[in-house]
Structure 1
Amino acid sequence: MKDQSIPGKFSDPYVTASGELRARVPFGNPETLWFNTGTLCNIECENCYILSSPTNDALVYLSTVEVSLYLDQLEERNWNPREIGFTGGEPFMNPDMIDMTAQALERGYDVLVLTNAMQPMMRPRVQKGLLDLQQRFGHKLTLRISVDHWRDDLHETERGRGSFARTIAGMLWLHNNGIRMTVAGRTVWGETEYEARAGYADLYATHGFDISAQDPSQTVLFPEMDELAEVPEITTDCWGILHKSPRDVMCASSRMVVKHKGAELPSVIACTLLPYVPEFDLGHSLKDAERDVALNHPHCAKFCVLGRASCSA
């Protein structure tokens, strides 16, 4: 693994700056197909890896028809994932969100929706749709709520003044209506993981939320995304050094569908973190996307290999 300060790092998909073979991840045993519903969001975070905001429509809204076509491809390609994920932007800003979620649930998939649980989710039409889905599919549907920190002041340094109370209000509505929730937080506050999970446990207890702070699948703590961070390149030798397998990395088992502004068709992306990097655009079909991925970006090292993180449940 090589220090990122050396010129030429993350520039060649086959070799590192030091001339070693770059690690690659073969695709196999697909577990999650993600859909990015669009980059528009009701808020603008201090550090959003996908640059979502009220004005960024670089990734435009997917439609129910487009999602359905990819669900058809899942069956044609025999991927058999356990989960369909929806992310944004804020998914509930997409007018087709309830219908797209229903499409996936009706085909028998578990569905995970990433949301800030704020105003877009709390609109009466969306609430009515979520209640219908809850009644029909129960815990096949999970909403992962972005709670960047268990303290309101630190959460609001990322998401803006008043955002914590609005998110908690949305979570209370979900809880009171029996809709399953998990939480995503960030690990940028100078506290240990033990301290962070203890803080989230207190938050959940205060509000009666049935979420485990100790279960990493229910309270996911993500490292910060910084493309300029000093991180090593991952070589083929790193698997043995780190005692990891390529199968452990997110792009071994997931893909994400996006639609770029102005594009005629959606594209399949290797990584949920990298929708704007052409090298990680694998083509328009799931068949096109059944190929290996070079770990040729700082996020590959910091988030997936060294950070051991995954966007899936």
Structure 2
Amino acid sequence: MEADALPQEKFSDPLWTAKGERRASVPLARLETLWFNTGTLCNLACVNCYIESSPTNDALVYISRDHVLRYLSEIADKAIATREIGFTGGEPFMNPEFVPMLTDTLERGFEALVLSNAMKPMRRHEAALLELKERFGNKLTIRVSLDHYTEKAHEAERGARSWGPGTDGLKWLSDNNFSIAVAGRMLPGETMEQARAGYAGLFAAMNIRIDASDPMQLVLFPEMDEHKDIAEITTECWGILDKNPADIMCATSRMVVHRKGEESPRVAACTLIPYDDGFDMGATLEEASRDVALNHPHCARFCVLGGASCSA
């Protein structure tokens, strides 16, 4: 690549970094998890929400049951080996068609993972959830967002009066023997060991059935400063970092989103980057099976260097 043709800014070219090195990409090894964003409307407006969900943000409109069924049917028709369907938002339980689409998912034999804050929107559906648990058992997992094991740090992220309803909802799920997990964050300067010990103390005090030492049951994300400079990932980085592209989230997952103003849903490469046209993979799962260029700061900060994944 000629020097005068180098991109002037980081993450501005899908093939080349700002230094003129070949940008890393990730092939789809298998579509193990298909995510649906149910819509960005949420009962909370968290400080560091990756996709800016809030009570007023409808940039991603409520996805419909019919649209979800279309993608579930494509999985069956194309014999795609998808094991898990994930639902995220916003708050999924605010979507008026969410419980029917969750039921459709379980009835078709998929495992279902629902990301929720376990507050009032979820609690309105207690009877339906108990029925689904009775029918499908541990095929349904609800992962509750609890940003820290202390009320102060949690509410600094999620807002005042969010701790009590959130922990009460988590306790209800535990007491009723749902398959549950918690998603939390590590504060700056906090080690993984400290965070897991803190959550373990909380779970013991509240008699919540979660093993804080199990990364499947307690998923911890690094606290990310989006304004901090981050290195671009080149093809050489796999060897330098001793990383395998097959371990990166977009090697095994995609997310369906319905952007406001668009006629129908589209498939995005990543749960964290629903608005970037460079990560729009097409209208169908077949179209979305191509490689993903790691051309966004989240690719480096969250996945490659942070080692995180939305699906355990």
Structure-1 separation of matches of 2:267 and 2:181: 26
SS of equivalent residue, structure 2 residue 288: coil
Contact 1:267–1:285 under 8 Å retained in 2? yes
Stretches of structure 2 lacking an aligned partner (at least 5 in a row) = 1-6
Structure-1 separation of matches of 2:217 and 2:187: 19
Structure-2 separation of matches of 1:191 and 1:279: 34
Q: Which residue identity lines up with residue 150 of structure 1 in the other structure?
A: Y
Deviates more, 1:77-86 or 1:108-117: 77-86
Structure-2 separation of matches of 1:158 and 1:187: 12
Q: Deviations over 1:239-263 (max 9, x none)?
A: 0011111101100110000001121
1:226 offset after TM fit, Å?
4.0
- Name the residue aligned to 1:258: 257
Structure-2 separation of matches of 1:225 and 1:261: 27
Contact 2:255–2:270 under 8 Å retained in 1? yes
- Name the residue aligned to 2:18: 17
Residue 44, structure 1, aligned to residue 40, structure 2: no
Q: Which residue identity lines up with residue 98 of structure 2 in the other structure?
A: M
Normalising to structure 1: TM-score of the pair?
0.96
SS of equivalent residue, structure 1 residue 17: coil
**Percentage of identical aligned residues:** 59
Structure-1 separation of matches of 2:79 and 2:233: 31
Residue 269, structure 1, aligned to residue 289, structure 2: no
- Name the residue aligned to 1:113: 114
The 1:188–1:218 alpha-carbon spacing in structure 2 relative to 1, beyond 3 Å, is same
- Pairs within 5 Å for 1:54-133: 54-123=55-124, 126-133=125-132
SS of equivalent residue, structure 2 residue 282: coil
Structure-2 separation of matches of 1:171 and 1:99: 22
Contact 1:37–1:87 under 8 Å retained in 2? yes
Aligned-CA RMSD value: 1.1
Residues paired across the two proteins, number: 306
- Name the residue aligned to 1:284: 283
SS of equivalent residue, structure 2 residue 54: coil
SS of equivalent residue, structure 2 residue 200: helix
- Pairs within 5 Å for 1:152-191: 152-191=151-190
Structure-2 separation of matches of 1:225 and 1:263: 30
Structure-2 separation of matches of 1:54 and 1:144: 21
1:174 offset after TM fit, Å?
1.0
- Name the residue aligned to 2:147: 148
Structure-1 separation of matches of 2:127 and 2:224: 35
Deviates more, 1:273-282 or 1:78-87: 78-87
Contact 1:13–1:294 under 8 Å retained in 2? yes
Structure-2 separation of matches of 1:64 and 1:136: 20
Q: Which residue identity lines up with residue 25 of structure 1 in the other structure?
A: V
Q: Which residue identity lines up with residue 127 of structure 1 in the other structure?
A: E
The 1:189–1:228 alpha-carbon spacing in structure 2 relative to 1, beyond 3 Å, is closer
Structure-2 separation of matches of 1:18 and 1:56: 37
1:128 offset after TM fit, Å?
1.3
Structure-1 separation of matches of 2:277 and 2:223: 22
Contact 2:38–2:89 under 8 Å retained in 1? yes
Normalising to structure 2: TM-score of the pair?
0.96
Q: Which residue identity lines up with residue 20 of structure 1 in the other structure?
A: E
Residue 28, structure 1, aligned to residue 29, structure 2: yes
SS of equivalent residue, structure 2 residue 209: coil
Contact 2:24–2:233 under 8 Å retained in 1? yes
SS of equivalent residue, structure 2 residue 152: helix
SS of equivalent residue, structure 1 residue 84: strand
Structure-2 separation of matches of 1:228 and 1:277: 18
Structure-1 separation of matches of 2:210 and 2:80: 30
Structure-1 separation of matches of 2:47 and 2:78: 39
Structure-1 separation of matches of 2:188 and 2:230: 19
1:76 offset after TM fit, Å?
2.0
Stretches of structure 1 lacking an aligned partner (at least 5 in a row) = 1-5
Structure-1 separation of matches of 2:98 and 2:176: 19
SS of equivalent residue, structure 1 residue 86: strand
- Name the residue aligned to 2:197: 198
Structure-1 separation of matches of 2:22 and 2:188: 35
Structure-2 separation of matches of 1:62 and 1:273: 17
- Pairs within 5 Å for 1:273-312: 273-312=272-311
SS of equivalent residue, structure 1 residue 220: strand
1:229 offset after TM fit, Å?
2.1
Structure-1 separation of matches of 2:159 and 2:292: 36
Structure-2 separation of matches of 1:10 and 1:113: 31
- Name the residue aligned to 1:218: 217
